[in-house]
């Protein structure tokens, strides 16, 4: 595997840490900014909103720009967004910094995936993307708990400074190891009009809806996991980084399992992973007051949530491989639509006074809806016998970003 792919994975580690670390920082941020937990939870949605908008917009805007230059610029903006967050004097400024950071993060995902896939032969695309998604999983194992630990002992702003430093390392790696590419042009240059044609396919929309619902299910709960652990399960706040690390371990295990079985059993992997997520969250809704159960189910939720990631992304590649740039960018947007809606719905449940276990029940319901959407897509797929991926004419870049995002 080229060293440049691992550099991209390191950069994703920084991006992923920033994206998810707020799950362990909601309480100190809420105290410092004098806002409620649900309002602090909207900072998670702020990042997701930036990802929703940024992925397709920046993918289209940079379609013909040199990719290494684009990656460097996006990492620089992302790092500055972290600095702005660390220096935020008010909730409003912090909210804006999260949106700006997310815009850069979204663009990096779309372009970085294209670069990773272009650097390896066609039969190594999944492994290249596994390195990038692995950076996200490691962020959940190491970065998110470390951010929570920093937040408890050095203040939540220290976590933002740490991510800013990581983004500098990633930027240096991209400059040193990612090869220079010329500006795209000529008859083979990608054309936005051609890529927009994917939106005429109902299977594309079903894939996006399933991805969004699955993400909403998981992150409606994950965004409020820390207060659930402390206020419902009765754990001390010092336990939160450990439990978040367990979720990350589960995510890494789930990604590895999903990557091995998704190619051969695409819909089976989606069915199994989404159904398992629904079951885990149902159990958590019923047993959240038991500390042991809450900790064990957090680990299992990581496995179930991320085992679907390779299958969901591969599904998009299958139905939209003719438009690699927008396919991956739109999948990223779908994931983050779920990331936006999930925490918002979870906040409504909490604000209504139903308690944190009810948020787990909400997640289970959303997962069931994702399962239904997957069933419709599967039925239509088998009814038309559509086979797109892996065609003889597929180029090394045609798989670009359909594999972009975890979840």
Q: Give the model confidence (pLDDT) of 28-79 as tens digits.
A: 888 888 888 778 877 877 787 787 777 777 777 776 777 788 888 899 999 9
Residue pair 162/147 in contact (Cβ under 8 Å)? The answer is yes
Residue pair 111/74 in contact (Cβ under 8 Å)? The answer is yes
Distances, alpha carbon 10 to alpha carbons 104, 107, 310, 331, in Å:
16, 16, 19, 21
- The Cα diameter of the chain in Å comes to 63
**Predicted confidence (pLDDT) per residue in 170-196, tens digit:** 888 888 887 876 555 555 555 666 667
Place of tokens 């999983």: 137
3-state DSSP helix/strand/coil percent for the chain, to nearest 5?
A: 80, 0, 20
**Predicted confidence (pLDDT) per residue in 337-370, tens digit:** 887 788 889 989 988 889 889 999 999 999 999 9
Closest CA to 283 of 353, 367, 366, 357: 357
pLDDT at position 161, please?
A: 92
Q: Given pLDDT bands bounded at 50, 70 and 90, which one contains residue 322?
A: low
Residue pair 67/114 in contact (Cβ under 8 Å)? The answer is yes
Place of tokens 């450990």: 242
Q: What is the mean pLDDT of residues 381-385?
A: 56
Q: What is the mean pLDDT of residues 246-252?
A: 84
Is-above-0.95 flag for pTM? no
**Among 220-229, 270-279, 288-297, the least confident range:** 220-229
Return the number of other C-beta atoms located less than 10 Å from residue 95's C-beta.
19
Q: What is the mean pLDDT of residues 219-248?
A: 84
**Predicted confidence (pLDDT) per residue in 122-169, tens digit:** 556 556 666 776 777 777 777 777 877 887 778 888 888 988 998 898
Place of tokens 């100190």: 28
Q: Where are the domains of the chain?
A: 3-179+193-384
> What average pLDDT does the structure give for the chain?
79
Q: What is the mean pLDDT of residues 231-245?
A: 83
Q: How far apart are CA 211 and CA 333, in angstroms?
A: 10
Half-sphere exposure of 385 (CA within 13 A, CB side): 0
pLDDT at position 399, please?
A: 31
Q: What is the mean pLDDT of residues 203-229?
A: 87
Structure tokens at 206: 């079903």
Higher pLDDT, 177 or 406: 177
Tell me which CATH code domain 3-179+193-384 carries.
1.20.1250.20
Q: Given pLDDT bands bounded at 50, 70 and 90, which one contains residue 233?
A: confident
Structure tokens at 390: 């892996």
**Among 197-201, 305-309, 373-377, the least confident range:** 197-201
Choose from 221-230, 280-289, 332-341 the range with maximum mean pLDDT: 280-289
Q: How far apart are CA 316 and CA 321, in angstroms?
A: 8
**Predicted confidence (pLDDT) per residue in 221-232, tens digit:** 888 888 888 889
pLDDT over 90 percentage in the chain = 12
pLDDT at position 187, please?
A: 53
Reply yes or no on whether the pLDDT at 380 is more than 50. yes
């Amino acid at each position: 595997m080229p060293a440049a792919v691992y550099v991209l994975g390191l950069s994703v580690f920084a991006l992923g840490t920033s994206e998810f670390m707020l799950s362990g920082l909601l309480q100190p941020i809420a105290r410092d900014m004098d806002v409620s937990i649900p309002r602090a939870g909207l900072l998670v949605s702020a990042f997701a909103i930036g990802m929703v908008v940024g992925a397709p917009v920046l993918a289209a805007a940079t379609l013909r720009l040199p990719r290494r230059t684009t990656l460097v610029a996006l990492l620089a903006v992302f790092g500055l967004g972290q600095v702005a967050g660390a220096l935020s004097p008010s909730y409003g400024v912090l909210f804006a910094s999260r949106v700006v950071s997310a815009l850069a993060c979204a663009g990096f995902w779309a372009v970085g995936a294209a670069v990773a896939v272009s650097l390896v032969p066609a039969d190594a695309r999944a492994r290249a993307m596994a390195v990038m998604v692995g950076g996200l999983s490691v962020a959940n194992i190491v970065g998110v708990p470390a951010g929570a630990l920093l937040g408890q002992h050095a203040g939540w702003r220290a976590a933002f400074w740490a991510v800013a430093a990581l983004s500098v390392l990633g930027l240096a790696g991209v400059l040193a190891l990612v090869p220079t590419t010329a500006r795209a042009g000529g008859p083979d240059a990608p054309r936005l009009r051609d890529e927009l044609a994917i939106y005429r396919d109902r299977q594309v929309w079903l894939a996006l809806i399933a991805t969004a619902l699955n993400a909403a299910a998981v992150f409606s709960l994950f965004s409020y996991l820390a207060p659930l652990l402390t206020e419902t399960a009765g754990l001390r706040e010092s336990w939160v980084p450990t439990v978040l690390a367990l979720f990350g371990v589960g995510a890494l295990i789930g990604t590895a399992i999903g990557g091995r079985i998704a190619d051969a059993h695409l819909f089976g992997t989606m069915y199994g992973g989404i159904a398992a997520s629904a079951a885990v969250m149902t159990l958590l809704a019923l047993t959240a007051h038991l500390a042991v159960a809450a900790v064990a189910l957090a680990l299992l939720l990581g496995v179930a949530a991320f085992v679907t990631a390779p299958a969901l992304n591969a599904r998009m590649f299958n139905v939209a491989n003719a438009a690699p740039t927008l396919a991956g960018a739109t999948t990223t947007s779908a994931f983050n639509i779920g990331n936006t809606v999930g925490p918002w719905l979870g906040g409504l449940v909490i604000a209504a006074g139903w308690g944190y276990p009810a948020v787990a029940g909400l997640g289970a319901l959303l997962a069931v809806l994702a399962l239904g959407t997957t069933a419709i897509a599967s039925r239509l797929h088998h009814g038309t016998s559509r086979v797109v991926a892996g065609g003889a004419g597929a180029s090394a870049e045609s798989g670009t970003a359909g594999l972009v995002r975890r979840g």
